[in-house]
Amino acid sequence: MPTEEIDAAAAGSWTLGDLGVNRIGFGTKRLAGNGPFDIDDADARERAVVLLRRAVEVGINHIDTAAFYPTYAAPDRGATSFEALDCANQLVRAALAPYPDGLVIATKVGPTPAGLARPKQLRGLVEEHLRQLGRDHLDLVYLRQAGLDSIAEHLGALAELREEGLIRHLGLSNVRLEHLEQARSVAPVVAVQNRYGVDFGRVNDEMVRFCGEQGIAFVPFFSLAGEAREAGGVSPSDSVADIARAHDATPAQVRIAWTLSRAPHLLAIPGTSDPVHLAENVAAGTLQLSSEELATLG
């Protein structure tokens, strides 16, 4: 697919609460590629800064980040375990502050080196995001949960910060439908981040459907990596590869197009450390898959 004239707006837009975003955004999880990143390395830092600025230049106005990003697969600990590099927020600030009007930065809190944060720890995590990003408020904060039966107390702690004006909108990550129902009894939720993609069967189809009915954005993670998860890259698939060749596209572009085809409330946040891949990812917003191709992908 040609990438000479690309604009993220071509994929359409969605509204996160009262914040309009283009449906193709940028995730900072892969800013380091698939390995360590030294923020004190001037060349490495400059490459990341240039990439982030280029993302905004091509119309991306939705940046997804976290204090523990970028990450890479933890050596010898499997596809679900990661090493946190803890520098994405600083790179976002270096590249984009003072932030242009209309740029939405989504962050997430919950994971800590000692495990899931307790509710009383969430204020400190939010305040750390504010310091790192140089903001007086956060546009969207996801609660990234793990292992909780009820998230009401955690969400309540974030809702208090929302009432204080430190957070504008709330989201949830890695949750089940009952978690979303619990959260919505505490405060409005504008977005959900769960794993979703060609390789995951129809895991989270019901969540996608419910979010659409409620006007809640669904933002898939691991949509390119598939079962490789923290190892990153683009999961191999014969059907994806065949469709990519038919369109003179990349497998990543087919996966992004599939995500966008599911429903208008699905947003894509592919991450990369490569400016060529960034251009390809944005260009995927114009790739139209046929009904037969979509049926093949499932």
Residues that are catalytic = 69
Sheet of strand 26-27: strand arrangement: 26-27, 62-64, 104-109, 138-144, 167-173, 191-193, 217-218
Q: Are 52 and 66 in contact (CB under 8 A)?
A: no
Distance CA 43, CA 237 (A): 35
Tally the C-alpha atoms within 13 A of residue 9's C-alpha that lie toward its C-beta. Answer: 8
Helices and strands, counts by H and E, the chain: 10, 13
Q: Who contacts 57 (Cβ-Cβ below 8 Å, separation ≥6)?
A: none
- Cβ-contact 221, 229 below 8 angstroms: no
Residue from 156, 154, 159, 160 nearest 174 by CA: 154
In total, the chain counts a number of residues equal to 298
Which residues lie below 8 Å from residue 242, measured CB to CB, with a gap of 6+?
none
